[in-house]
């Protein structure tokens, strides 16, 4: 059966990539491509919505899809755990059938980097994240860095990260108690380093996105799985069967 996809943000970098993937896939059809001037009702009738827009627009798109009972894959950044909790409540209010799949990063390597960082996090008290993106990125810290910090904090449970002098601006923004440093530079695509420090050693887990091709597998997987998914799903890891180590993990 063919899955009809509505792409919100179709004129953007990610949206154009998604349009090409939908066109090339035998099991996907384009229902609609939306930009900043489109009416949200253009989404209606789709089997799945892909939201790759702007942090300020994403919430309205997600709420519209939920209210219409359409599954939605959210690639737009800016979704912290708190904001996701708000969408969970909204879904319950509507008793909405469509899943909401938040994917902070569609790249498999990035997701693995986050999982490895969370695994290592229990063994190091000093942890900081440095993320670097192209100069056109409007939000900081990146959605990937926020998710990574949240997953690390979850893995550490009651053990706080030690971040001295974190009140000084140059020490970065604290996300879930972890300093995050954001670089925005011409010439870059997307990179993240998680630096963990212990007694007499550091461990760095680094991921670089070399080209948008890194997102293709994840976008296709999310679009194909979202129509049958249930509830609110966070992270490509959930679709790939990659377990993020929580505090209770062995």
Ligand X SMILES: O=C(O)C1=N[C@H](C(=O)O)C[C@H](O)C1
Ligand Y SMILES: NC(=O)C1=CN([C@@H]2O[C@H](COP(=O)(O)OP(=O)(O)OC[C@H]3O[C@@H](n4cnc5c(N)ncnc54)[C@H](OP(=O)(O)O)[C@@H]3O)[C@@H](O)[C@H]2O)C=CC1
The binder of ligand Y chosen from 3, 5, 6, 9 (CB under 6 A): 9
Extract the tokens encoding 224: 């194909």
The dihedral built from the CA positions of residue 31, 142, 150 and 250, taken in this order, carries a sign that is positive
In the bound complex, what is the minimum distance in angstroms from residue 107's beta carbon to ligand X? Answer: 7
129: Cβ–Cβ under 8 A, 6 or more apart, which residues?
A: 141, 145, 148, 149, 172, 175, 178, 179, 180, 181, 192, 193, 194, 195
Query: Could you give the string, one character per residue 26-55, with x where binding to ligand Y holds by CB under 6 A and - elsewhere?
Result: ---------xxx--------------xxxx
Is residue 148 part of the contact set for ligand X (CB under 6 A)?
no
Give the nearer residue to ligand Y in terms of CB position, either 195 or 209: 209
CB 152 within 8 A of CB 115: no
The phi and psi torsions of 24 (rounded to 5 degrees) equal -80, -20
- Is 137 noted as a catalytic residue in this protein? yes
Angle (deg, nearest 10), helices 108-121 and 216-225: 90
The binder of ligand X chosen from 33, 98, 104, 172 (CB under 6 A): 104
In the bound complex, what is the minimum distance in angstroms from residue 54's beta carbon to ligand X? Answer: 10
Query: Could you give the string, one character per residue 124-143, with x where binding to ligand X holds by CB under 6 A and - elsewhere?
Result: ---------x---x----xx
Nearest-angstrom CA–CA distance, 69 and 91: 9
Is residue 224 part of the contact set for ligand Y (CB under 6 A)?
no
Residues that bind ligand Y (CB under 6 A): 9-15, 35-37, 52-57, 75-77, 103-106, 215
Binding-site sequence positions for NAD(+): 9-14, 75-77, 103-106
């Amino acid at each position: 059966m063919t899955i009809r996809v509505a792409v919100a943000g179709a004129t953007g970098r990610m949206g154009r990539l998604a349009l090409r993937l939908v066109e090339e896939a035998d099991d996907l059809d384009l229902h609609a491509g939306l930009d900043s001037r489109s009416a949200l009702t253009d989404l209606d009738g789709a089997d799945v919505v892909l939201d790759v827009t702007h942090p300020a627009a994403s919430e309205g798109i997600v709420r519209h899809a939920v209210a219409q009972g359409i599954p939605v894959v959210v690639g737009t950044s800016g979704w912290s755990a708190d904001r996701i909790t708000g969408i969970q409540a909204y879904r319950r209010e509507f008793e909405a059938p469509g899943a909401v799949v938040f994917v902070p990063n569609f790249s498999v390597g990035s997701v693995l980097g986050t999982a490895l960082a969370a695994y290592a996090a229990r063994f190091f008290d000093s942890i900081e994240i440095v993320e670097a993106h192209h100069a056109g990125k409007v939000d900081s810290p990146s959605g990937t860095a926020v998710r990574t910090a949240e997953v690390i904090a979850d893995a550490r449970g009651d053990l706080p990260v030690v971040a001295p002098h974190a009140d000084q601006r140059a020490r970065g923004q604290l996300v879930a108690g972890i300093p995050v440093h954001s670089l925005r530079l011409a010439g870059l695509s997307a990179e993240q380093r998680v630096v963990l420090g212990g007694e007499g050693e550091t461990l760095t887990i680094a991921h670089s996105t070399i080209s948008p091709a890194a997102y293709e597998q994840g976008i296709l997987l999310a679009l194909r799985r979202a129509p049958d998914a249930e509830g609110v799903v966070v992270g490509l890891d959930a679709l790939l069967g990659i377990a993020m180590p929580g505090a209770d993990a062995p």
